[in-house]
Amino acid sequence: MQMFIAGELCNAAAGQTTEIRNPATGEAVDTVPKATVEDARRAIESAHQAFPSWSQMAASDRAALMFKGAQNVKEHIPEIAELLTREQGKTLLESRIETQRLAENLEFFAGLHGALRGQHVEIAKPKAYGMVIKRPLGVVGSIVPWNFPLTLMANKICPALIVGNTVVVKPASTAPLAIARCVELINAAGFPPGVLNVVTGPGAVVGEELIAHPLVRKIGFTGETETGKRVMAQASNELKHVTLELGGSDPMIVCDDANIPEAIRAAGVGRFFNCGQACLAIKRLYLFDAIADEFIEGLKQNAEQRWKVGNGMDKATRMGPLHTAGQREEVEKMVQDAVGRGAEVLTGGKRPTGVEYERGNFYLPTLLVDVPEDALIAREECFGPALPIFRVKNLDEAIDKANNSKYGLGSSIWTRDIRNAHAASERIEAGYTWVNSLQIAVDELPFGGTKQSGFGKEHGTEVLDHYSELKSVMVGVA
Ligand code: NDP
């Protein structure tokens, strides 16, 4: 696979490559160029050159290219999904959904082209009128992690492009293939050279060059909180705009009046989808005492029966491997820490056995009860399929415990009582509260965290403000 810079496929100038390995089998999937600072600069300069004509093009023309780009992606869903599964580990179904979401996101933001507008303001003295116009920023750097490469790229490039920015994408070093292929396919719609580039290379080299280079006006970043802090500190040198989508430890609260079967299903999807490697996965479960036993039994059955672990290419698989061996070790460390502090493993808590699992980073869906609140898994982000379960007496206790976290990304509550739902919406410290619904981020609503989960929004029309700046214009009419 090659990178895409200045309208063409290319290799790294220095000729180096990185091998991408399949997390389920350990086999080599492909190689990508291992870009250096020189390659990153070439992409940035090409995006800079493309900016004037792209930003002055009618938004409807930009939209037409994005619609065509979406069509190109849709026509290649089976191919892209297979590539994504082989490099990332997720199931084919998850990869298909993700590829489809990239196309939908392109269409959603292309569809907003007619809604881009500013304001008109009457001014009395001196007699004039004012306008507040919105202008694109210029070159935008999109730094993307490996857990949802395509949707997390889409969240950044789609709003950036429709308002007239040009973009350089930096995928994660371990999951660049589907991104590189999709950028190529989107460009095949006829985008002018330099508008959308992808540079594959290490975060410490390509990522840091995007952050340091004076021509890049904004960094959209998703990843670990500690990396996000570094991005923000470095971006301050050039006073760049930043959007930071960082870690989360989302609480799910189940009240005693909830629809229990639906909530069990949602807890399973919320924790085990994508092998638990999602920023807004459910990472702490708070159950009202009255329903706790019934819920725990139902969720145990769900974890053991529904989430068949295996190679993502196998149709029967519901949960693939962890993306890297290091990710699996992190989860194991957290489970062991909890057990060492007195927690009980209700199910899972180990690697599956059998020849088909020997070469991949597999781990069983895991539920933990009696977890002390100072356990790592309760305090830090657990980026894998292990869920600590806590019992609470009432809603006040549930909300207090939910808020006892440095993170504030998503949250959810299951209840039939509007007062409980209202209290959770008002009082949980998070960027999102789902009420009786699956914890997924839709295009229509702004998504982003508070506290150490970052700031800035993706999705919704609100994201457009994070990829543009306001300018005042005053027109004298006296
Ligand atoms: P990182 O934050 O290190 O990586 C995310 C992206 O940032 C990658 O593209 C990475 O590139 C890039 N990057 C890394 N270092 C720099 C840098 N100094 N400057 C600019 N860009 C940089 O996350 P990891 O992939 O290492 O995952 C580690 C942990 O982070 C996970 O275990 C999980 O807990 C959390 N995480 C959370 C996510 C979320 O959505 N909440 C998403 C991903 C991870 P490269 O791959 O080349 O290093």
Tell me, using a 6 A CB cutoff, whether residue 147 lines ligand 1: yes
SS (H, E, C) 182-249: HHHHHHCCCCCCCCEEECCCCHHHHHHHHHHCCCEEEEEEECCHHHHHHHHHHHHHHCCEEEEECCCC
Q: Is the CB of 277 under 6 A from ligand 1?
A: no
Check if 247 has its Cβ closer than 6 Å to any atom of ligand 1. yes
Report which of 105, 110, 102, 274 is spatially closest to residue 182, judged by C-alpha positions.
102
Distance 145 CA to ligand 1 centre (A): 5
Q: Mean pLDDT, the chain, as a whole number?
A: 98
Q: Any idea what DSSP says for residue 273?
A: G
- Tell me if 408 CB under 6 Å of ligand 1: no
CA distances to 124, 126, 433 from 474, rounded to whole Å, are 12, 10, 41
For 88-132, write each residue's pLDDT tens digit: 999 999 999 999 999 999 999 999 999 999 999 999 999 999 999
Instruction: For residue 223, report the distance from its CA to the centre of ligand 1, in Å.
Output: 4
Average pLDDT over residues 138-167: 98
**Alpha-carbon torsion angle 154, 155, 159, 160, nearest 10:** -80
Catalytic: 279? yes
C-alpha distance from residue 74 to each of 66, 77, 78, 103, 469 (Å): 12, 5, 9, 6, 32
> Ligand 1 centre from 68 Cα, in Å?
31
Confidence of residue 365 (pLDDT cuts 50, 70, 90): very high
Which domains, and CATH codes, for the chain?
3-246+454-476 (3.40.605.10), 250-443 (3.40.309.10)
Mean pLDDT computed over 128-156 = 98
pLDDT digits (tens, 9 = 90+) for 196-242: 999 999 999 999 999 999 999 999 999 999 999 999 999 999 999 99
Q: Distance, CA 227 to ligand 1 centroid (Å)?
A: 6
Count, residues in the chain: 478
The answer to whether 158 is a known catalytic residue is no
pLDDT at 478 over 90: no
User: For residue 453, which of 278, 248, 243, 223 has the smallest C-alpha distance?
Assistant: 248
Task: Looking at the CA of residue 230, tell me the nearest atom of ligand 1.
Answer: 18
| CA dist list (Å): 287 to 191, 264, 328, 419 | 51, 11, 27, 17
Give percent above pLDDT 90 in the chain: 100
Which entry of 279, 332, 380, 382 is annotated as an active-site residue? 279
